[in-house]
Structure 1
Amino acid sequence: MWVNRYASSSVIYAKLAEKYAQLDKIDNQERTGNFNKVDRVELSTAPAQYDEQDYHRVLNKFQQKDNETRAHEQAHAANGPTASGIVYNYQMGPDGKLYAVGGHVRMDTSMPKDPQAASYKLGQLQRAASSPNELSGADAQIARTANLNKMLLHSLGESNAS
């Protein structure tokens, strides 16, 4: 029984060595360029059919969205304590360039123990979340939460003072 086990493992190792040799041969062929590649891209010889006005209209929309997105995220970052830099989501425009079509900035939501410092920071978070002209759903939620937490903080401070 032990002999068969060793014999079968040596057969397996021999087959593995054969497969490794085949893979090495393929790698060498790819490096030297003697490999027949199946993937081909055939470009049409017909002239491109597009309307120049449509091209510029779409390009202007990409540029406008990029400007709006950058201004929106920079307004958040400029008006509050951030925990990271701005992260943009990009999409390729018709001219082959990348345009920002979305983004986010992480705000530092850690709260100081001092009630006055916490109130100040909640005010910053509220201003940062509501600073852009057009609020996203997430922006509005953050602004509401900061406002509610600030009111809660003030009510706790008033009840402790009594």
Structure 2
Amino acid sequence: MLINDNLTASSIYQQIAQKKAQLANIDKKDFEKSSHEKNDSVNLTNGKNIDEKDYQRVLDKFENLDAKTRAHEQLHASLANTKGAISYNYQMGPDGKLYATGGHVRLDTSIPKDEASAIAKLDRLQKASTAPDGLSSADASIARTANLNKMLLLSKEQEGVQNAN
């Protein structure tokens, strides 16, 4: 069977087989290259050996930051009602493990209609947001807002007492 310019079906199949073999070789080389890259380690020390003390110092910093971050967010969550679970930001340490380096918890900032309940809840919110050391700007903002709302409620309560007299 003759197809265009002396090309037969068998020669076309032969060319297709050759192209498939070439592609298979390329795929094999790419796979081998990626396998070698997985086993390679990145050398960031410019030929210098990493001191075990330096490695341990960096690892200790990650572990300490992780512990502080978790304790900070858990303290917030334990002192007030929350809207969901604690969310952490992670960074990979030198040992390949993920360490919490930041986080947040959504506190329930809704205010009950009952003034006594509202004041009690605002006190809890203020305590929860200011309890840990190292206040973030979000912590300070929640504390400020809770304090302002509490002052507004107390001033309304004071006006109600004065108007009743």
Q: Give the TM-score of the pair, scaled to structure 2.
A: 0.72
Higher radius of gyration, 1 or 2: 2
1:150 aligns with 150
For 1:67, the aligned partner's letter is A
1:21 aligns with none
2:112 aligns with 112
Q: CA offset at residue 87 of structure 1? A: 0.6
1:80 aligns with 80
For 1:65, the aligned partner's letter is L
Stretches of structure 2 lacking an aligned partner (at least 5 in a row): 1-19
1:134 aligns with 134
Alpha-carbon distance in structure 1 between the residues aligned to 2:106 and 2:132:
15
| TM alignment of 1:3-152, pairs within 5 A | 34=24, 36-37=26-27, 38=30, 40-41=33-34, 42=37, 43=40, 49-152=49-152
Q: CA offset at residue 140 of structure 1? A: 1.1
Instruction: Provide the secondary structure at the position in 2 that maps to 1:83.
Output: coil
Stretches of structure 1 lacking an aligned partner (at least 5 in a row): 1-28
1:160 and 2:160 matched:
yes
1:4 aligns with none
> How many residues align structurally?
130
Superimposed CA distance per residue, residues 73-93 of structure 1 (whole angstroms, 9 cap, x where no aligned partner): 011000111111111111000
Alpha-carbon distance in structure 2 between the residues aligned to 1:66 and 1:57:
14
Q: CA offset at residue 48 of structure 1? A: 8.2
1:17 aligns with none
- In terms of fraction of residues, the more strand-rich structure is 1
Superposed CA RMSD: 2.3
Instruction: Provide the secondary structure at the position in 1 that maps to 2:141.
Output: helix
Alpha-carbon distance in structure 2 between the residues aligned to 1:95 and 1:156:
57
Alpha-carbon distance in structure 1 between the residues aligned to 2:58 and 2:139:
28
Alpha-carbon distance in structure 1 between the residues aligned to 2:79 and 2:141:
17
